[in-house]
Amino acid sequence: MASSKNLHQIKIDASGHVVKARPGETILAAALRQGIVLPYSCKNGTCASCKCQILSGGVDYPYNPPQALDFDDLATGHALTCQAVPTSDLVIEARELTRLADIPVRKLPARVESLHAFTPEIMRVRLKLPKAARLQFLAGQYIDILLPEGKRRAFSIASAPSQSEYLELHIKHVSGGGFTSHVFEGMREKEILRLEGPLGTFFIRRSSTRPMILMGGGTGFAPLKAMIEDMLHDIESHTGDDEHPIRDITLYWGVAKSSDLYAHALIDEWRQRLPNFRFVPVLMEPDADWTGEVGFVHEVVIKDHPDLAPFDIYMSGPPAMVHAARAAFLEADLPEDRLFYDSFDFAPDVPINPA
265 and 336 in a single domain? The answer is yes
Q: What is the pLDDT of residue 19?
A: 94
- The verdict on 92 and 150 lying in the same domain is no
Q: Which helix (H) or strand (E) holds 95?
A: none
- Cβ proximity of 137 and 161 under 8 Å: yes
In a domain, 240, yes or no: yes
Residue 78 and residue 158 share a domain: no
**In whole angstroms, what is the distance from residue 188 CA to residue 261 CA?**
25
Evaluate whether residue 83 is within a structural domain. Answer: yes
Q: Assess if residue 207 is contained within a domain.
A: no
pLDDT in tens, 235-283: 887 654 455 567 899 999 999 999 999 999 999 999 999 989 999 999 9
Percent of the chain with pLDDT over 90: 72
**What was the pLDDT predicted at 53?**
95
**Which of 34, 69, 99 is the last residue before a domain boundary?**
99
pLDDT at 352 exceeding the cut of 50 = no
191-204 mean pLDDT = 95
Q: Are residues 20 and 70 in the same domain?
A: yes
Average pLDDT across the chain, whole number:
90
Does the residue 57 lie in any domain?
yes
Q: Please tell me whether residues 236 and 330 are part of one structural domain.
A: yes
Residue 206 lies in a domain: no
Strand, helix or coil for residue 312: strand
- The whole-number pLDDT of residue 227 equals 96
Residue-level pLDDT at 353? 44
pLDDT band with cut points at 50, 70 and 90 for residue 344: low
* Residues 165, 142 within the same domain: yes
Let me know whether 62 and 114 are in one domain: no
Same domain assignment for residues 80 and 110: no
Which pLDDT score is estimated for 3?
Answer: 56
Same domain, 301 and 268: yes
Alpha-carbon distance 350 to 348, whole Å?
A: 6
Helix or strand run (H / E) with residue 348: none
129 and 25 fall within a common domain: no
Q: Is the pLDDT of residue 30 over 50?
A: yes
Which domain range does residue 216 map to? 212-343
Residue 73 lies in a domain: yes
5/9: higher pLDDT: 9
| Predicted local distance difference test score (pLDDT) of residue 239 | 53
| pTM exceeds 0.85, yes or no | no
Condensed to tens digits (0 to 9), the pLDDT of residues 274-330 reads: 989 999 999 999 989 999 999 999 999 999 999 999 999 999 999 899 999 999 999
Do 147 and 269 reside in the same domain of the chain?
no
**Alpha carbon distances (Å) from 296 to 215, 222, 293, 317, 324:** 11, 19, 9, 12, 10
The structural domain count of the chain equals 3
pLDDT greater than 90 at residue 5: no
User: Under 8 Å CB-to-CB from 265, ≥6 apart: which residues?
Assistant: none
Residue that finishes a domain, picked among 40, 70, 99: 99
* 126 in the same domain as 95: no
User: Quick one: average pLDDT of 207-229?
Assistant: 96
End-to-end CA distance of the chain: give it in Å, rounded. Answer: 14
Domain boundary among the residues 77, 99, 121 is at: 99
CATH code at position 70: 3.10.20.30
Output 43 or 126, whichever has higher pLDDT: 126
pLDDT digits (tens, 9 = 90+) for 125-160: 999 998 877 888 999 999 999 999 889 999 999 999
